[in-house]
């Protein structure tokens, strides 16, 4: 019952592609997608770009390893490890070096200043006034209360933060 059953165990664990090629492919795809997502920060919501990227890539690599898209499990494991390595390394580098942190995580972008919409910044991020007003309502701010907003930022992770004026 638990015999060989015609399964080629060697093909399950022995890579058919050089491991260095898998590492290189994982590295190139991770870095390419990271910087592509870095440009458009508003789609990720509360999740960091690298977090989203790792989830997507690891899910795909794991699925390929499980469904035998790769010739061996080892190839899938090496790719998943490569993706995890880059995620850790970029987080660590961002923690250790402020210049890398600025590169990896965009600075907040001012969208409202003293109750006035900064349309040029909104245009840069392709944010319509209706979208911004919907986000303000999520913070309990109605349209007629817009003058009460001191500052409103699009944060690096895509969330909106609001600072109301101090009551006078």
Residues 133 and 83 in one domain: no
Tens digit of each residue's pLDDT (9 = 90 or more) over 63-122: 665 555 666 667 777 887 888 888 889 889 999 999 998 888 888 999 999 999 999 999
Residues 24 and 61 in one domain: yes
Model pTM score:
0.58
Residues 31 and 46 in one domain: yes
Count of structural domains, the chain: 2
Q: Considering the domain boundaries, does residue 21 fall inside one? A: yes
**Residue 90 belongs to domain spanning:** 9-104
> In whole angstroms, what is the distance from residue 87 CA to residue 156 CA?
17
Residues 119 and 90 in one domain: no
> In whole angstroms, what is the distance from residue 139 CA to residue 147 CA?
15
Residues 96 and 22 in one domain: yes
Residues 23 and 81 in one domain: yes
């Amino acid at each position: 019952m638990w015999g060989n059953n015609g399964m080629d165990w060697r093909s399950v664990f022995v890579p058919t592609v050089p491991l260095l090629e898998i590492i290189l492919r994982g590295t190139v795809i991770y870095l390419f997608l990271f910087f592509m997502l870095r440009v458009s920060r508003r789609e990720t919501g509360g999740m960091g770009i690298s977090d989203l990227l790792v989830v997507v890539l690891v899910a795909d690599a794991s699925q390929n390893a499980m469904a035998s898209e790769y010739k061996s499990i080892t190839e899938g494991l090496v790719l998943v490890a490569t993706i995890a390595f880059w995620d850790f390394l970029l987080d660590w580098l961002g923690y250790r070096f402020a210049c890398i942190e600025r590169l990896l995580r965009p600075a907040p972008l001012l969208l409202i200043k003293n109750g006035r919409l900064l349309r040029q910044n909104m245009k840069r991020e392709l944010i319509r006034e209706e979208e911004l007003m919907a986000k303000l309502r999520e913070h309990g701010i109605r349209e007629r209360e817009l003058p009460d907003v001191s500052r409103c930022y699009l944060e690096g992770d895509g969330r909106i933060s609001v600072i109301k004026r101090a009551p006078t």
